Amino acid sequence: MSVLPHGRAIGLMVVCALLWSTAGVVTRHLSPELQAQGRFEITFWRSVFAAVFVAGVLFIVRRQPLRVLWAGGWAGAVSGGMWAVMFTFFMLALTLTTVANTLLVLSLAPLLTALLARAVLKLPIAARTWAAIAVATAGMVWIASGGGAGRPSGAHLLGMIVAFAVPLASAINLVTLQKIRAQVDLVPAVFIGGVLSALLMLPLALPVQASARDLLLLAGLGFFQLGLPCMLMVVAARTLAAPEIALLALLEVVFGTAWAWLGAGEVPAGATLAGGALVLAALVANEVVALRRER
DSSP letter for 184, please: S
Determine the straight-line distance between the first and last CA of the chain, rounded to whole angstroms.
24
Average pLDDT value for residue range 220-232: 94
Residue 182, in any domain of the structure? yes
Full-model pTM: 0.82
Structural domain of 109? 6-294
The pLDDT value recorded for residue 149 is: 46
Least confident of 60-69, 175-184, 222-231, 281-290: 60-69
Domain count, the chain: 1
Residue 139, in any domain of the structure? yes
Q: What is the full DSSP assignment across 251-293?
A: HHHHHHHHHHHHHH--PPPHHHHHHHHHHHHHHHHHHHHHHHH
- Whether the per-residue pLDDT at 153 is higher than 60: the answer is no
Q: What is the full DSSP assignment across 90-112?
A: HHHHHHHS-HHHHHHHHTTHHHH
- One-letter amino acid at 255 equals F
Residue 230, in any domain of the structure? yes
> What are the tens digits of pLDDT across the range 194-209?
999 999 999 999 999 9
The pLDDT value recorded for residue 150 is: 47
Residue 1, in any domain of the structure? no
**Omega prior to 167 cis, within 30 of 0:** no
Residue 186, in any domain of the structure? yes
- Whether the per-residue pLDDT at 51 is higher than 90: the answer is yes
> What are the tens digits of pLDDT across the range 91-127?
778 777 766 667 667 778 888 888 898 888 887 778 8
- Whether the per-residue pLDDT at 181 is higher than 90: the answer is no
The pLDDT value recorded for residue 151 is: 47
Q: Give the count of beta carbons closer than 10 Å to the beta carbon of residue 60.
A: 9
Residue 75, in any domain of the structure? yes
Residue 52, in any domain of the structure? yes
Quote the distance between the C-alpha of residue 28 and its chain's center: 19
**Percent above pLDDT 90 for the chain:** 33
| Average pLDDT score, the chain | 83
Residue 26, in any domain of the structure? yes
Burial degree of 245 (CB within 10 A; 0-12, 13-18, 19+): buried
